[in-house]
Copies of this chain bind each other. A is one copy, B any other.
């Protein structure tokens, strides 16, 4: 298939591009580079041995989006593009809603106008909100989220579900990611957050490489085994494989909307992850314990049974793999793509 990958220069997008090419798909990237670096493209071309066409614009630009679809024929779209910082989304919510919704509107409108019917969307476990029972199952309702960022994911799930329900040709996959970590085994692509990382793994990696003094653990008095929050970490390579599997499934399913959790089904605590990273690095890493962070759930993990059964997909990588691969990327690229 010829696949348009929006946000293809981002963390999950870039790893998915590599696997799409390996699976025999033609890939075209559209990315605004607002939160990603042009340098990733050269790395992707080296990894894939292909020239990768890149369109550098923001999908909220309807004219450019329309022109792209008029100029090129796509079989499918994987839509990663979007603003994604939970904390920032509470500071500038209008920008989050406008950007994430308008880019989706623009993309879907162009898809419909040009007969592109397969869409894979980057959703998130955040849509399960605060009250879903563990493990999270795809049939839980109603969706809700505690941040404007998360609410854009809820809203886009509703928009795409309703659009697909009204259009007999359209097939939409809503992929609910748990906590993506890790990097490509080559160490040439990986997560490169701007500013202070919001997520645990890149923060630990930056401590290990000397960019941050120490890790602050946000609360150790949660009702969990060691008192720190537990999350379902998924290796980005497993996650990328889930996208390739979902794309293949979309081409044959009769379901207008398919929702799949992409997670391992296992929770790992902050302290467990820190210690696993210490094993990967070969030394202890400094940390202290701070207060709880507003909006953090004590525990979150997937029931991945639906994706396992329907996609013939499952995660393979361990927590130690995640740490080793993250460390390989971070130590080879201590300041990310801008060396």
Contact = CB atoms under 8 A, between A and B. Distances in A.
Interface stretch (A88-96, A185-193, A284-292): A88-96
Contacts of A98: 105, 109
Contact of A105 (B91, B102, B141, B144): B102
A158 interface: yes
A93 B166 contact: yes
A195 interface: no
Interface in A110-158: 112, 129, 141-142, 144, 148, 151, 155, 158
A118 to B, nearest CB: 17
Contacts of A92: 166
A interface bracket (residues with beta carbon within 8 Å of B): 20 to 34
Contacts of A142: 129, 142, 144
A177 interface: no
Copies per complex of this chain: 2
Contact of A112 (B94, B129, B163, B166): B94
A255 interface: no
A1 interface: no
A256 to B, nearest CB: 12
Contacts of A112: 94
A126 to B, nearest CB: 14
Contacts of A108: 94
B151 A162 contact: yes
- Residues of A contacting B: mostly: helix
Given A98-B105, A102-B105, A91 B144 contact: no
Contacts of A93: 159, 162-163, 165-166
Contact of A155 (B129, B141, B144, B155): B155
Contact of A166 (B90, B101, B144): B90
A97 interface: yes
Contact of A159 (B90, B94, B144): B94
Contacts of A102: 102, 105
A144 to B, nearest CB: 4
Contacts of A148: 158, 162
A163 B163 CA distance: 26
B105 A165 contact: no
Interface centre among A90, A109, A163 (most CB of B within 10 A): A163
Contacts of A166: 90-94
A97 B151 contact: no
Nearest to A92: B166
B90 A97 contact: no
Contacts of A109: 94, 98
A216 to B, nearest CB: 25
A296 B151 CA distance: 26
Contacts of A94: 105, 108-109, 112, 159, 162-163, 166
25 contacts: A90-B162, A90-B166, A91-B166, A92-B166, A93-B159, A93-B162, A93-B163, A93-B165, A94-B108, A94-B109, A94-B112, A94-B159, A94-B166, A97-B101, A97-B105, A97-B162, A98-B105, A101-B101, A102-B102, A142-B142, A148-B162, A151-B155, A151-B158, A155-B155, A155-B158
